[in-house]
Structure 1
Amino acid sequence: MSQTRERLTTALLVAGVLGLAAGCTSDDQVSAAPAATDVAPTPGATASPTPVEAASPEEALVAEYLDAAVAGDAAAAWQLLTPQAQQFYSTEQTFAGLFGRDGTVSADEAGQLLAGDMVSSEGPEGAFTLVSVTTDSEADAWVVRAVDGDPADLRIDDAGVPPTGGSLYEWRNPAAGAEDARYEAGPAALDASRPATLSFASPASTDSDVPSTIGYPDALYGWVDGASVPVELGAAAGSERQFTADVEPGQGAPTALTVVWETGLGGGTPASWRSSTVLL
């Protein structure tokens, strides 16, 4: 999920998307938006910067995904998503209607990220490869994994934020706020006197009776610019779970923290991964 100093992600109300409540929904309950195949690129973002040469198949896949975002080519991007990410949207038409506007990377962000250096990191027990990019104004990371264990079929876990209802997770430090207010949140700086903090609300705190697509994790994995950092689950705070990571802002260089968690555990749906990235 992408993060600028002005925003990490957004939630978008889209006409025709039904059945979502309080940020919790089952993967097969995102109704189709008006049919569309491509999304017009953001003005000024049609000319893609020359990306650095990908050093691995995972980085090449992410570069291809960013190229599709710059071009507003939702059809091309759809083919690069894991089946679980596709299931979140239910249909390609729904994805096309939301592409670049639901917390996934926008055309403008993708154009800037293509000019940055990609860094690859191995996930827990080799479950995925995290490909991250950090620039002066943008930071994002993508979970790339082999579908059904087939190394020849690499795809990206990049489901967006549910388009209706409140967010179930938010950054407390940096105080970037809730996911669905990210665009209006304004700049957020890390308070270096305290750990970076991400909070999850319990799905039980909502009125929904369906599994959350966001999840309520009991473990997070963290990376700062590709280097693994421990993420600790703090003491329970009401119905919330708070995770903290001891990090420091970059000294004259852009630095970003990415956290990754697994969803679909125990809910009868195939497991997938979500991530959230914030500039420090």
Structure 2
Amino acid sequence: MTTSLRNVLTATSAVALIALLAGCGTDYPPSTPTESGTVEPDPQDPASALVSEYLDAIALGNQGGAWELLSPETQATYDSSAETYAEYSLDNETVTATDAEVFAEAPLVVTDGPENGFQLVSAQTTDIADAWIVRDTDVGLRIDDPGVPPTGQRPFTWQNPKDGVYDSTVAPMIFFQTFYGEGGETDVISGPPETIVGYADSVEVPVTKEAASGAGANFVADVPAGAFALTVVWAPDDESPLFQSSTVTLATSLP
């Protein structure tokens, strides 16, 4: 995927068909579109079905099953090794088995991402939230969920909320660190993303890069008052189709 395509955000809505069972007289209401291409998915929606399968696998401790649902690019972050994934997936800041069991029973909301890019599948309960990136790959629909790398330094840190505490008097903020090689400041291994987008309660919101320094850069999100959850999605490397995300809650519970 080119960078230009990543930066063109689309908002397309899907409307479910009204089904009428012959002889039963039972009407099934259509899904209700919301803002920014967000719909309550049909039970057969491919993206939500994939995430449901992923959550079920994690909740059951079936790491092999979860591994098969990850994108090749996500698998590559674990050296394309199911054994490495099994070793690190329990402590890499992806969804836990306990939360996966809860989210598996929660409604899933699907939001379109960049053109030809991904779909964001979000789940919220009264006190927790998370989201997963579903993308069409060479092997079919798969999930981008690399988590924190099993080796090396953490590439991002939430400044607000910080340590789980949200300060509503300032904007949500996430910091991306710049990593250098042995050559010093002229040898940049990775830095703040060029492609980044935010979703407040599944609706797209602006994410703006603040003044950068040699250490990295802060990004702030413009969220509406009363938003419960914020997901930030970015491309770690614009030469790769892989996306990564992080979700935080901005309140102690849903209003």
Which bracket does the TM-score occupy, shorter chain normalised? 0.7 to 0.9
Per the TM alignment, residue 135 of structure 1 is displaced from its structure 2 partner at its CA by 1.4
Deviations 1:174-195 (A, max 9, x none): 113xxxxxxxxxxx23212211
Provide structure 1 residue ranges, at least 5 long, that are not aligned to the other structure: 1-51, 177-187
Per the TM alignment, residue 210 of structure 1 is displaced from its structure 2 partner at its CA by 8.8
Change (3 A) 1:163 1:111: same
Change (3 A) 1:198 1:207: farther
Per the TM alignment, residue 163 of structure 1 is displaced from its structure 2 partner at its CA by 2.6
2:198 and 2:231 in contact (8 A); partners too: yes
What does 1:47-66 correspond to in 2, within 5 Å? Answer: 54=43, 56-66=45-55
2:193 and 2:235 in contact (8 A); partners too: yes
Per the TM alignment, residue 107 of structure 1 is displaced from its structure 2 partner at its CA by 0.6
Deviations 1:93-123 (A, max 9, x none): 1111122321111110101111221111001
3-state DSSP class of the match of 1:193? coil
1:171 and 1:199 in contact (8 A); partners too: yes
Per the TM alignment, residue 134 of structure 1 is displaced from its structure 2 partner at its CA by 1.4
Q: Provide the C-alpha distance between the structure 2 equivalents of 1:207 and 1:103, rounded to a whole number of angstroms.
A: 31
Percent of matched pairs sharing the same residue: 41
Question: Taking structure 2 as the reference length, what is the TM-score of the superposition?
Answer: 0.74
Provide structure 2 residue ranges, at least 5 long, that are not aligned to the other structure: 1-40, 251-255
3-state DSSP class of the match of 1:89? coil
Matched to 2:218, the amino acid is Q
Change (3 A) 1:138 1:55: farther
Please identify which structure carries the higher strand content: 2
1:201 and 1:216 in contact (8 A); partners too: yes
1:158 and 1:274 in contact (8 A); partners too: yes
**Counterpart in the other structure of 1:278:** 248
2:178 and 2:214 in contact (8 A); partners too: no
Change (3 A) 1:210 1:260: same
Deviations 1:139-165 (A, max 9, x none): 1111101113x7xx1000011212344
Matched to 1:273, the amino acid is F
Per the TM alignment, residue 275 of structure 1 is displaced from its structure 2 partner at its CA by 0.4
**Counterpart in the other structure of 1:73:** 62
2:132 and 2:145 in contact (8 A); partners too: yes
Per the TM alignment, residue 126 of structure 1 is displaced from its structure 2 partner at its CA by 3.4
Q: Provide the C-alpha distance between the structure 1 equivalents of 2:172 and 2:155, rounded to a whole number of angstroms.
A: 18
Q: Provide the C-alpha distance between the structure 2 equivalents of 1:112 and 1:53, rounded to a whole number of angstroms.
A: 20
Q: Provide the C-alpha distance between the structure 1 equivalents of 2:82 and 2:230, rounded to a whole number of angstroms.
A: 30
Question: Taking structure 1 as the reference length, what is the TM-score of the superposition?
Answer: 0.68
**Counterpart in the other structure of 1:163:** 150
**Counterpart in the other structure of 2:131:** 141
1:192 and 1:248 in contact (8 A); partners too: no
Per the TM alignment, residue 248 of structure 1 is displaced from its structure 2 partner at its CA by 4.4
**Which structure is richer in relative contact order (CA contacts within 8 A, separation 6 or more)?**
1
**Counterpart in the other structure of 1:259:** 232
Q: Provide the C-alpha distance between the structure 2 equivalents of 1:207 and 1:168, rounded to a whole number of angstroms.
A: 19
Change (3 A) 1:216 1:114: same
Q: Provide the C-alpha distance between the structure 2 equivalents of 1:222 and 1:139, rounded to a whole number of angstroms.
A: 14
Between structure 1 and structure 2, the one with the greater Rg is 2
What does 1:195-210 correspond to in 2, within 5 Å? Answer: 195-204=171-180
Deviations 1:14-38 (A, max 9, x none): xxxxxxxxxxxxxxxxxxxxxxxxx
1:220 and 1:243 in contact (8 A); partners too: no
Deviations 1:243-276 (A, max 9, x none): 101224637xxx110010112335xxx3310001
Deviations 1:225-260 (A, max 9, x none): 111101111122442211101224637xxx110010
**Counterpart in the other structure of 1:115:** 105
Q: 2:75 aligns with which of 86, 106, 126?
A: 86
**Counterpart in the other structure of 2:9:** none
Change (3 A) 1:228 1:55: farther
- What is the RMSD of the two structures over their aligned residues, measured on CA atoms? 2.4
Per the TM alignment, residue 206 of structure 1 is displaced from its structure 2 partner at its CA by 8.4
1:82 and 1:155 in contact (8 A); partners too: yes
Work out the number of aligned pairs and report it. 207
Matched to 2:116, the amino acid is G
3-state DSSP class of the match of 1:77? helix
Per the TM alignment, residue 53 of structure 1 is displaced from its structure 2 partner at its CA by 7.1
Matched to 1:173, the amino acid is N
Change (3 A) 1:107 1:233: same
Per the TM alignment, residue 54 of structure 1 is displaced from its structure 2 partner at its CA by 3.0
Q: Provide the C-alpha distance between the structure 1 equivalents of 2:115 and 2:42, rounded to a whole number of angstroms.
A: 27
